C-alpha cells in the first residue's frame, strides 16, 4: 500500500482525517492526523463527532409505535391503600412518615385517601421509606376494552374499536 501523504510503500496504512480530508497514511505520517476517520455503514468516511451526531439523528427519527407495549411500570391503582398498609405495618403515624420523607402530613393523607396522585420523586421516596412497591408493569393484552360508562366514550376508545374491527 502507498501512503497518500509521503508516497512511501508500506505494508499497512491507516485511515485518518488530515485537515478535513480522509487519507490513508503510514505510521510516520499518522502524527499529522487531526483525528481518526470513521467509516459509516454506507461506506462514507466522516469525522468521529459527525458520525456520532448522524447515529443519534437516526435513532431519533426511528418511528415509534405508540400502541406497542413497552413493559414500563405505572403507578398502581391501589397505591393509596398500599401506602397506608406500609405505614401501619411499620407502626408510623402520618406525622412520622411525613417527617421521614420531608413532606407535609396533608400530602400523605391525600395520597392514602386517593385524592392525590404522587409525582415520581415522591413515589420513589415512599417506596424506599416504607419498603413497598407502588408501581406495576402494565402489559397490553391486545383486546378491545369498552369505555367506562361513567366517563363516556372518548376519541381514543373509538379509534381502538375501529382498528380492532378492520
Sketch out the chain's domains with CATH numbers: 1-50 (no CATH), 67-166 (1.10.260.40)
Q: How confident is the model at residue 87 (pLDDT cuts 50, 70, 90)?
A: very high
**What nine digits make up the cell of 123?**
413515589
What is the average pLDDT across 46-59? 74
Q: How confident is the model at residue 24 (pLDDT cuts 50, 70, 90)?
A: confident
Residues whose CB is less than 8 angstroms from the CB of residue 11 and which lie 6 or more positions away in sequence, other chains included: 1
What is the average pLDDT across 26-49? 74
Q: How confident is the model at residue 14 (pLDDT cuts 50, 70, 90)?
A: confident
Name the residue among 56, 48, 57, 55 with its Cα closest to residue 17. Answer: 48
What is the average pLDDT across 88-97? 94
> pTM here?
0.45
Return the pLDDT at 59: 78
Under a CB-based contact definition with an 8 Å cutoff, are residues 23 and 16 in contact? yes
147 pLDDT above the threshold of 80: no
What is the average pLDDT across 73-86? 90
**What nine digits make up the cell of 9?**
510503500
94 pLDDT above the threshold of 90: yes
Q: What mean pLDDT is reported for the chain? A: 79
Within 10 A of 140 (CB to CB), how many other CB atoms are there?
A: 10
Amino acid at each position: 500500500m502507498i501512503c497518500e501523504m509521503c508516497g512511501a510503500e508500506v505494508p499497512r496504512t491507516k485511515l485518518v482525517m488530515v485537515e478535513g480530508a480522509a487519507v490513508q497514511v503510514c505510521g510516520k505520517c499518522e502524527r499529522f492526523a487531526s483525528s481518526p476517520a470513521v467509516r459509516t455503514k454506507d461506506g462514507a468516511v466522516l469525522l468521529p463527532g459527525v458520525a456520532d451526531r448522524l447515529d443519534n439523528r437516526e435513532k431519533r427519527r426511528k418511528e415509534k409505535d405508540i400502541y406497542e407495549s413497552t413493559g414500563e411500570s405505572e403507578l398502581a391503582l391501589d397505591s393509596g391503600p398500599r401506602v397506608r398498609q406500609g405505614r401501619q405495618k411499620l407502626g408510623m403515624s402520618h406525622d412520622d412518615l411525613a417527617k421521614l420523607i420531608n413532606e407535609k402530613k396533608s400530602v400523605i393523607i391525600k395520597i392514602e385517601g386517593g385524592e392525590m396522585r404522587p409525582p415520581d420523586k415522591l413515589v420513589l421516596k415512599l417506596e424506599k421509606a416504607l419498603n413497598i412497591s407502588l408501581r406495576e408493569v402494565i402489559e397490553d393484552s391486545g383486546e378491545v376494552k369498552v369505555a367506562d360508562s361513567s366517563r363516556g366514550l372518548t376519541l381514543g376508545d373509538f379509534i381502538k374499536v375501529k382498528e380492532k374491527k378492520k
